[in-house]
Amino acid sequence: MTKHQPIRLAVFASGNGSNFEAVAQSIQKGEVDGELALLVCDQPGAFVLTRAEKLGVPAVTFTPKTFESKADYEREVLAHLEEAKVDLIVLAGYMRIVGKTLLKAYPERIINIHPSLLPSYPGRQGIVDAFMDKVEQTGVTVHLVDEGVDTGPVLAQETVAIEPDDTIDSLERKIHAVEHELFPKVIQKVIKKLQKEHV
């Protein structure tokens, strides 16, 4: 028996899902004190769904363009989150801007991981943009989500050096390795804070 109610997480992802898997494994190892209640995927056929099946995580997939509006789509997502009693949303490669419906339902309870040192290089191509700019360092940011694109208060950042012999591929590998360590740690910190608030 734990002292606190377990915090229930939903991970939102659109693609490969390596961060989803890192979070799921950290939960299984007991390093993150939460329950992975749901994977929300907006891309039918994404590899993250295969990972979820293997790990036994319930998943729901949507095709957002079949909804009349973003609000309609998010209302449907919200119904699933409520049914799964989700406390905290974790965006892990979710390639969509979160709208008002979800932001209102989960104030300061949506976090995102981004592959750059925000506010530098927001958007879809954070790794490539930093590499092309020939900067000496880039990194990883975990932040609270607001209505902007990769804005919102920063919770943690870690730097990754870009060495002269790096390629986009090698840089991507280094960044992902940092993400897989940093994200579960920050999620655990957020969970602890939420548990304190619940006491």
Residues that bind ligand GRF (CB under 6 A): 13, 15-20, 92-93, 113-115, 179
- Of the two residues 51 and 195, which places its CB atom closer to ligand GRF in the complex? 51
C-alpha dihedral sign at 131, 134, 140, 142: negative
Instruction: Work out how close the CB of 113 gets to ligand GRF at its nearest, in angstroms, rounded to a whole number.
Output: 4
Task: Give the nearest distance from C-beta 146 to ligand GRF in angstroms.
Answer: 16
Give 107-123 as a DSSP string.
TT-EEEEESS-TTSS-S
- Of these residues, 4, 80, 114, 143, which one is catalytic? 114
The residue nearest ligand GRF at its CB is 93
Cβ atoms of 144 and 108 within 8 Å: the answer is yes
Pairing label, strands 59-61, 34-41: parallel
Reading the block at residue 115, the tokens are 């592959």
To the nearest 10 degrees (0 to 180), the angle between helices 47-55 and 18-28 is 10
Cβ pair 94, 12 in contact under 8 A? yes
Complex with ligand GRF: residue 109 or 180, whichever CB lies closer: 180
Residue placing its CB nearer to ligand GRF in the complex, 74 or 179: 179
CB of residue 81 vs ligand GRF: minimum separation in angstroms?
20
Closer by beta carbon to ligand GRF, 109 or else 114:
114
Least Å distance, CB 150 to ligand GRF, is 8
Active site residue 143: no
Cβ count within 10 A of residue 124: 10
Q: If you search the block for the tokens 């548990």, which residue do you land on?
A: 195
- Active-site residue set: 114
